[in-house]
A and B are shown apart, each in its own frame.
Chain A
């Protein structure tokens, strides 16, 4: 496993990224974070893990594997997450204007490295 902080270090320089975290899926707690001051890491971790569980429930009901990534888009920002093999979740909070395509690729790569 790469250093989790170095994994996050590849996400935060992207313009529009408010913060990045590695979250424990099971208990919704922060494992590592790199956040702007105005981002509540504890809230991101708890809510992202909970939402990830909900979405895994949807794909399970369809007989499908868990999503490899998911994205919640709001009018003022977005939350992008990808689970790792270690029951962790790489999560990024970003502005709406972020380059979502590049961010997605970086998050997927980070999830692989964090495994």
Chain B
């Protein structure tokens, strides 16, 4: 498990131990990765984060068109793997969790312990830092630095 935010590590470690999830990605609603577990390649993380944020954005838009409250989570159930995608509020803004799980666990367990993860994150999050503007010329450097941290390189 790798995290850019140290305070995320303990709640995420507990979630991974209890839920039995195979892959987990925590990101901001803009698709910026905060923590990951189980991904081997940085490219996969970037793609998953972008797609996850996109799905949640599309789902929110769909809810808006249907004139209903935003949908909080999306589940895809495959034969071998399931995918759980959920948006949630934190003191650091709106985040998205992407969880891939196998037959050794269940959607029920993933949902149960994800709800606890959300509670834990809300409790342990430090006060919000003032937003920092990311300059275009810094962006690539920031991205590479984040990916290095997330993959321990």
Chain A residues engaging chain B, CB cutoff 8 angstroms: 23-24, 26-29, 42-43, 45-47, 49-50
Partner among B77, B82, B108, B115 whose Cβ is within 8 Å of the Cβ of A45: B108
A26 / chain B contacts, CB cutoff of 8 Å: 106
Q: In this assembly, does B62 line the interface, its C-beta being within 8 Å of a C-beta of chain A?
A: no
**A53 nearest CB across to chain B (Å):** 8
Q: 9 tightest CB-CB pairs across the interface, nearest first?
A: A28-B108, A46-B108, A28-B106, A27-B107, A46-B112, A46-B109, A29-B108, A27-B106, A45-B108
Closest to A42 in B: B112
Closest to A40 in B: B112
B105 / chain A contacts, CB cutoff of 8 Å: 50
A29 / chain B contacts, CB cutoff of 8 Å: 107-108, 111
B111 / chain A contacts, CB cutoff of 8 Å: 29, 42, 46
Chain B residues engaging chain A, CB cutoff 8 angstroms: 77, 82, 105-109, 111-112, 115
- Please measure, in the bound complex, the distance between the C-alpha atom of A21 and the C-alpha atom of B77, giving whole angstroms: 23
A50 / chain B contacts, CB cutoff of 8 Å: 105-106, 108-109
**A7 nearest CB across to chain B (Å):** 20
B115 / chain A contacts, CB cutoff of 8 Å: 42
Closest to B107 in A: A27
Given the interface pairs A27-B107, A49-B106, A50-B105, the reply to whether A43 lies near B112 with Cβ below 8 Å is yes
A43 / chain B contacts, CB cutoff of 8 Å: 112
